[in-house]
Chain A
Amino acid sequence: MASEAERAQAAASTRNAWLLSTPALVLLFCAAAGPLLIVLVYSFLAKGDYGGVAWNFSTDGWVGILFSRDIFDDTLQLADAHLTIFWRSVKISLLTTLITFALGFPTAWFIATRPPKARAMWLFLITIPFWTNLLIRTFAINEMIRNEGVVNSFLQGIGLISEPIRMINTDLAVLIGMTYVYLPLMVLPLFAAIDRFDMRLLEAGYDLYASRLQVLRHVILPIVKPGIVAGSILVFVPSLGAYVTPRVLGGGKNMMIGNFIELQFGQGRNWPLGAALSIALLLIVMIALIFYVRAATKGSNPHG
Chain B
Amino acid sequence: MREGPRFLLLNRIGCTQYDQNIRKMKTHDRGDLLAETAAIMAKGVTKAFGQGETVVRALDNVSCEIRTGEFFTLLGPSGCGKTTLLRLIAGFEMPTDGQILIDGQDVTGQPPNKRAVNTVFQSYALFPHLSVAENIGFGLRMKGIARAEIDRTVKEMLALVKLEAMAGRRTSQLSGGQQQRVALARALAPRPKVLLLDEPLSALDLKLRKEMQVELKRLQTETGITFVFVTHDQEEALTMSDRIAVMSAGRIQQLGAPREIYTRPRNRFVASFIGDTNFLGATGVPGGAKLGSGQVIAVDTGGKGGQITLAVRPEHVEITTPDAEGAIPAEVHGSVYFGTDMNYQIALADGSEIEACVQSGVTGEAQIDRGAKVGIRFAPGSVLMLED
Contacts and interface: CB of A to CB of B under 8 A. Distances in A.
Contacts of B43: none
B127 A201 contact: yes
Interface string A208-220: 1111001000110
Contacts of A210: 113, 138, 142
Given A198-B125, A200-B121, A201-B127, A207 B113 contact: yes
Contacts of A302: 131, 168-170
A113 interface: no
A204 B131 CA distance: 15
14 contacts: A198-B128, A200-B121, A204-B121, A205-B142, A206-B91, A206-B92, A206-B112, A206-B113, A207-B90, A207-B119, A209-B139, A209-B143, A218-B142, A302-B168
Interface string B88-130: 0011100000000000000000011100001101010111110
Contact of B125 (A200, A209, A218, A223): A200
Contacts of B143: 209
Contacts of B258: none
Interface string B186-227: 110010000000000000000000000000000000000000
A293 B118 CA distance: 36
A205 B112 CA distance: 9
Given A208-B142, A218-B141, A218-B142, 12 more contacts: A198-B123, A198-B128, A200-B121, A203-B92, A204-B125, A206-B113, A207-B90, A208-B138, A209-B143, A210-B113, A214-B142, A300-B129
Interface residues of B, number: 27
Given A218-B142, A302-B170, A207 B112 contact: yes
A150 B119 CA distance: 55
Contacts of A223: 127-129
B125 A203 contact: yes
Interface in B114-166: 118-119, 121, 123, 125-129, 131, 138-139, 141-143
A300 B128 CA distance: 10
Nearest to B141: A218
Interface residues of A, number: 20
Interface string A287-303: 00000000000001011
Nearest to A219: B127
Contacts of B126: 204
Contacts of A200: 121, 123, 125
